[in-house]
Structure 1
Amino acid sequence: MYKLVAIDIDGTLMNDRKEITKEVNDAIQAAKAKGVRVVICTGRPIVGVQSIIEELKLNDEDDFVITFNGALVQNTHTKEVESQITLTYENLKELYELSLEIHSPLQFFDTENLYTPNRKISIYTVHEAHINQVPINYLPIDEVSKDMLIPKVMFIDDPERLNTIIANIPESFWEKYTFVKSTPFFLEILDQRVSKGNAVKQLAEKLGIKREEVICIGDGENDLSMIEYAGCGVAMDNAVSVVKEVAQFHTLSNNDHGVAYAIEKLILGS
């Protein structure tokens, strides 16, 4: 019997209109009623998921959320931080210098805000701010507080340009950081220890849940680590090919209530 299901948001939980359908919500509530823990696991910041947590009623005493692609694990009821792994100011400075060398716009987060050191603000920074309902703050690197906790830095650009940027990142950086391409226009950079898979594993162990009792559902490259970890990894029909290749179960697309279909088949037995 499965005891925990971790669900990505964009391209998975939500359809392309950024809605959680009634079918998906109903399936999640039915899973909760059976005693299954439902955990949102997303690249979004914590402030970008609060309305979703409330909509899905995932804020009971022992409910948790995983944000920033695994950099932050937090109790949604008490707000107590279970785990937080962040980059340092020196990491940010190093990545900013790299962004100048390879001609990539850059943005970064603290736990609540989105920042850009670029006077010319990218349309993708505006997109990120809109999705997460956070303000954009212009902040030159030399004005960043050296004590700032930075869950993630992002290289952002048009998909074709971003592929070129990725190809130009020196090998030494790949060895030092975790890189995940969360969308065709976002490359997210995290501490080397951070991944969705590691965060789900840590949370499952805290809750006394075995690996084979975990389901993880996703669609993007940043979901790969948790799909690989899960006892049952679930790929959306709209998932990238690498996710489909490692998943044990394929569900419908995010526009066809794919999360509901997976829960019904794997947990509710309908």
Structure 2
Amino acid sequence: MAIKLIAVDLDGTLLSSSSTILPETQRMLRIATENGIKVVLASGRPLSGVLSYAQQLGLDKDDQYAIVFNGAVVQTIGGRVLMSQELNYQDFNNMLRFQRLSHVNVHFETTKCFVTCDHDLSIQMQINAASTNNIIKVRDRKDIPQDFTFNKVGFTSIEGSDQVEKLWNSLPSWAFDSYDIVRSWDSIIELNALGASKGNALMNLASRLKIAQKDVMVFGDQGNDISMFSNPEFKKIAMGNAISKIKEKSDYVTDDNDHNGIAKALKKFVL
């Protein structure tokens, strides 16, 4: 199998339950890179939340790439933006309308920081910021400028996943026609500009690198990975801990993220 590009989700895929890269998984991905295969980290996180793991894998040169914000931004590891899809002030107001459908927090993610108008922050929002080395700027709505743009939105709740579920079931149909919306975890709803997805970003990056889609392998486990698993050309590897929708769309189900699922699939199909 002539795999030339491997796209790897982070949380629940590359990272174990303790948010570390297991030594054997790290070793096999480094071997893949040494054999000329492009390894691309594809995450809902901003670049700041990807960099330390890229460094562990030896992917810290400017000819290496990351797909971040669920595909809304493609950057070099050095920070140069190759592609960016943004949301604007009208979208900001729409997000606040959605927020009223449930007891949830909403935060707006940019390449520089997180912004929220909520003063009581959910633990999940704080975890998201801390795990991605970001600061949360709390601002009153009147202080948000009309030229405000952002790459991704996150809805979380101080009252638990039941309120996130309520919001998911309450979102109007036009919202799904106007935005890319995914349930990345039970406790998080993530929203991007329409067409901004890991799958589309990966297709665009592969085209830039002159790599055929049939030579791309993807690893994932959650709802924000479904767009990669919807491409019939990609070789799709579901983690053993993946949700059922990912497994159903996969070509192969490997072991879970705590038992070197990536390494085992690379040994079987690539190296």
Q: Deviations over 1:169-194 (max 9, x none)?
A: 11111111110111111100110020
Does residue 122 of structure 2 align to residue 119 of structure 1?
Answer: no
Partner of 1:244: 247
- Asked if structure 2 preserves the Cα contact closer than 8 Å seen for 1:236 and 1:251, the reply is yes
Amino acid at match of 1:117: C
Cα distance, 1:29 vs. partner?
A: 0.7
Cα distance, 1:146 vs. partner?
A: 2.7
Does residue 2 of structure 2 align to residue 15 of structure 1?
Answer: no
Gap runs ≥5 in structure 2: none
Q: Secondary structure at the match of 1:179?
A: strand
Cα distance, 1:98 vs. partner?
A: 2.2
Amino acid at match of 1:62: D
Q: Secondary structure at the match of 2:129?
A: helix
Does residue 259 of structure 2 align to residue 263 of structure 1?
Answer: no
Q: Secondary structure at the match of 1:181?
A: strand
Cα distance, 1:34 vs. partner?
A: 1.2
Mapped to 2, the partners of 1:61 and 1:49 lie a distance apart of 14
- Asked if structure 2 preserves the Cα contact closer than 8 Å seen for 1:111 and 1:149, the reply is no
Amino acid at match of 1:118: D
Cα distance, 1:61 vs. partner?
A: 3.9
Gap runs ≥5 in structure 1: none
Amino acid at match of 2:42: C
Q: Deviations over 1:99-153 (max 9, x none)?
A: 1243322111111211221111111111112211222221123212333330011
Cα distance, 1:160 vs. partner?
A: 2.2
Cα distance, 1:88 vs. partner?
A: 0.5
Amino acid at match of 1:187: I
Aligned pair partner of 2:175 in 173, 176, 180:
173
Which portions of structure 1, spanning 4 or more consecutive aligned residues, are displaced by more than 4 angstroms?
none
Amino acid at match of 2:188: F
- Asked if structure 1 preserves the Cα contact closer than 8 Å seen for 2:103 and 2:163, the reply is no
- Report the aligned-residue RMSD: 1.3
Matches within 5 A, 1:177-216: 177-216=179-218
Q: Secondary structure at the match of 1:52?
A: helix
Amino acid at match of 1:263: L
- Asked if structure 2 preserves the Cα contact closer than 8 Å seen for 1:93 and 1:141, the reply is no
- Asked if structure 1 preserves the Cα contact closer than 8 Å seen for 2:51 and 2:60, the reply is no
- Asked if structure 1 preserves the Cα contact closer than 8 Å seen for 2:107 and 2:153, the reply is yes
Amino acid at match of 2:236: G
Q: Deviations over 1:216-266 (max 9, x none)?
A: 100001101112225211100000000000000111100001111111112
Judging by fraction of residues, say which structure has more helix: 1
Partner of 2:63: 62
Amino acid at match of 1:254: N
Mapped to 2, the partners of 1:80 and 1:43 lie a distance apart of 18
Cα distance, 1:94 vs. partner?
A: 1.5
Mapped to 2, the partners of 1:262 and 1:174 lie a distance apart of 34
Q: Secondary structure at the match of 2:82?
A: strand
Amino acid at match of 1:259: I
Deviates more, 1:87-96 or 1:146-155: 146-155
Shift in alpha-carbon separation, 1:61–1:117, aligned structure 2, 3 A: closer
Q: Deviations over 1:72-107 (max 9, x none)?
A: 101124x32110001111101111122124332211
Amino acid at match of 1:221: G
Mapped to 2, the partners of 1:141 and 1:38 lie a distance apart of 40
Mapped to 1, the partners of 2:33 and 2:42 lie a distance apart of 16
Mapped to 2, the partners of 1:83 and 1:172 lie a distance apart of 26
Tell me the TM-score normalised to structure 1 length.
0.95
Amino acid at match of 1:206: R
- Asked if structure 2 preserves the Cα contact closer than 8 Å seen for 1:43 and 1:67, the reply is yes
Partner of 1:228: 230
